[in-house]
Amino acid sequence: MVWTPLRKEGMAQYANIVMKFVPKAPVVLSMAKKNKVGKIDVSFGAFTVTYSSWNDLRNGYESLILSVASWVQSFDERKQ
């Protein structure tokens, strides 16, 4: 759930940093399986992404991972 989209986009080097900002994949899958509903906020930088359920988060997980990785990459490029 994490490595495949990052590898596909050439951003696998940011995986460890990305995982500091998003819920772990096993937690997302477990909570979605239990149909847990409630506001889930994921914040990184000046952005906050809000999901209304764990199923919504699961469905948007790859996009979230790539969004956070792009944000991390932008900081990496500014340092150079």
Is 3 or 1 the better-scoring residue by pLDDT?
A: 3
Buried b (16+ CB within 10 A) or exposed e, 2-33: beebbeeeebbebeebbeebbbeeeebeebbe
Average pLDDT for residues 11-22, to the nearest whole number? 94
Domain residue limits at 25: 3-79
**Global pTM value:** 0.88
User: Residue 31, Cα to own-chain centre: how many angstroms?
Assistant: 15
* Residue 14 pLDDT greater than 70, yes or no: yes
Q: Please identify which residue in the block is written with the tokens 């952005």.
A: 47
> In this structure, are residues 41 and 49 in contact, taking their beta carbons and an 8 Å threshold?
yes
Percent share of the chain, pLDDT over 90: 82
Tally of structural domains, the chain: 1
Q: How confident is the model at residue 77 (pLDDT cuts 50, 70, 90)?
A: confident
Average predicted confidence (pLDDT) for the chain: 92
Average pLDDT for residues 60-78, to the nearest whole number? 90
